[in-house]
Amino acid sequence: MNSNASSSVTPEQPADANVEHSCDVLIIGSGAAGMSLALSLANYCRIILLSKSDCNEGSTRYAQGGIAAVFDERDSIESHVQDTLEAGAYLCDEDVVRFTAQNAKSAMEWLIEHGVPFDQEQADNGENRYHLTREGGHSFRRILHAADATGEALQITLNEAVSQHPNIHIFERYNAIDMIKSQDNPNRCKGVYVWNRKREQVEVIRSRFITLATGGASKVYQYTSNPDIASGDGIAMAWRAGCRVANMEFNQFHPTCLFHPQARNFLITEALRGEGARLVHADGTPFMEKFDERKDLAPRDIVARAIDYEMKRLGADCMYLDISHKPADFIVKHFPNIYRKCRSLGIDITREAIPVVPAAHYSCGGVMTDLNARTDLDNVYAVGEVAYTGLHGANRMASNSLLECIVFARSAAEHILSRLDEAPAEEPILPWDESKVSDSDEEVIIQHNWHELRLFMWDYVGIVRTTKRLERAIRRIKLLEQEISDYYSNFRVSNNLLELRNLVTVAELIVRCAMQRQESRGLHYNQDYPERAENATPSILTPMPSNTSPQPGDLTSFEH
């Protein structure tokens, strides 16, 4: 790791020294999006890759199913496009969907060149070919995968390549706080304030280009499949800096998270249903045919609502996913990770059904970008789950998420490379001001507010919503915002404080988008508006002009 390679200071400086680093491109986030972008740029410029934890932690690592791309001659790009539009409840941007599908195969070939070990099989002619599986919403087998742990294989492969590149400098255990706007050009950012968790102090990273690759915001919910770091940091930072956000109401609830007290966050991939697994009651009775003609291969929003409905109707704690009718050796070969995990908890999936519940999984909305991943700020890009590209519409189709990361990372890299000759004026950056703050002795209050936020978001802004519930949620969010302003503005920053601040901002954005959409479509189901509206458009929120870059040390900016 080269964590200090681009720093303009030395480790021997005192802890209270103002530390400033500099680079050509700052990438905030070390998942598939951030690492792919770093590798695409590193031969041409200096990169700082910021990771809130370590570079192996993040949502990418836990993605099981795979990555969608047309490799089968019986399949077509047009079919991939139409499947995505249908899964997205026809709220997708068709140009973006087509751009993504057309670039999918070359993106996968790029990953293969970097050594990602996608599963292969022997064709009828004796030659090896990539094994393709099928997931909900897909008309053909088009999912490249590495057993049932594709994300882990992708993360490990990219991390190894990134850590060996001399132009990529990895800063682990750093939280991004806020982007620093230019005084000369309010449409540009000159750097970012970051919190060094090891030294417990705020530092500055000056950069010509900034890319947000921070992932989603599902930690805003009580039950989530996401790792702890998925706290919406990039979305909240971009909003505070003046970027529009869109479609925040569409948070995907993965229908099948393992229901077990010792199985926190463990997903049961949709690929099981693609290979014949059935959703059943405790007595083994299938139920998906009551909800959709595609039965167990229906898109995630339909399956999640069906499970939620059956649980509430029966007063059950969970439903069950059964693949035990398949041969045991087939199950163990194709789903070794899930088999081992369940076996460790006393569940033999070759003989019995798997208890499952829905859990918040993926943010389909985010920071608005174009086909080059550019945001409303001239030198700020957003790639991956943090971004709203228009690909997913009202519901993400399985295995399009990692695909979006790679396709748009490569597109952003191409655009940034075309701008490397630009020479923006150097401006001074004010150091972070901690002269009027102290250490908090009330950490329990942060924890209390954290749990309160996630619980009422689950109850009021979950799988099924009403206008009254959304109004209750916004009132509680406003109270939490005021408490943060009143109680925490005098304290030094901490990981929990920064994440709570961002989660509250993201929660308000989700609720405001949900209140704006007076229909039910895809992942957003409002009992007061159960039908689809005609000529629906994305839910776009625009920051007020006063919502500019916070001042150093200011953690109280919540104006929308």
Catalytic residues: 300
Say which amino acid occupies 145. Answer: H
Strand partners, 176: 194
Which pair of tokens denotes residue 349?
């999936």
d(CA 345, CA 513): 40
- In terms of Cα–Cα distance, which of 547, 559, 460 is closest to 510? 460
- In terms of Cα–Cα distance, which of 382, 454, 361 is closest to 62? 361
Burial letters for 333-364: b for 16+ Cβ neighbours within 10 Å, e otherwise?
A: ebbeebbebbeeeebebbeebbbbbbbbbbbb
Q: Are 216 and 52 in contact (CB under 8 A)?
A: no
d(CA 488, CA 494): 10
- In terms of Cα–Cα distance, which of 159, 137, 31 is closest to 86? 137
Beta carbons within 8 Å of 164's beta carbon, 6+ residues apart: none
Question: Widest CA span of the chain, in angstroms?
Answer: 73
d(CA 516, CA 521): 13
* C-alpha torsion sign, points 483, 489, 493, 499: positive
d(CA 135, CA 397): 9
d(CA 371, CA 551): 32
Which pair of tokens denotes residue 65?
């199913």
Backbone dihedral angles phi then psi of residue 138, each to the nearest 5 degrees: -90, 135
Angle, CA 556 vertex, CA 552 and CA 559 arms, to 5°: 115
Which pair of tokens denotes residue 422?
């630009």
Which pair of tokens denotes residue 415?
């655009």
The three-state DSSP-derived secondary structure of 299-359 is CHHHHHHHHHHHHHHHCCCCEEEECCCCCHHHHHHHCHHHHHHHHHCCCCCCCCCEEEEEE
Q: Give the SS3 label for residue 128.
A: strand
- In terms of Cα–Cα distance, which of 356, 325, 352 is closest to 339? 352
Strand partners, 205: 21, 192
* Secondary structure letter of residue 530 according to DSSP: -
Q: Annotate 450-502 with DSSP letters as a single string.
A: HHHHHHHHHHHSSSSB-HHHHHHHHHHHHHHHHHHHHHHTTB---HHHHHHHH
Report the relative pairing of strands 245-246 and 251-258 from DSSP bridges. unpaired
Q: Annotate 492-522 with DSSP letters as a single string.
A: ---HHHHHHHHHHHHHHHHHHHHHH--S-BT
d(CA 522, CA 518): 13
d(CA 122, CA 63): 25
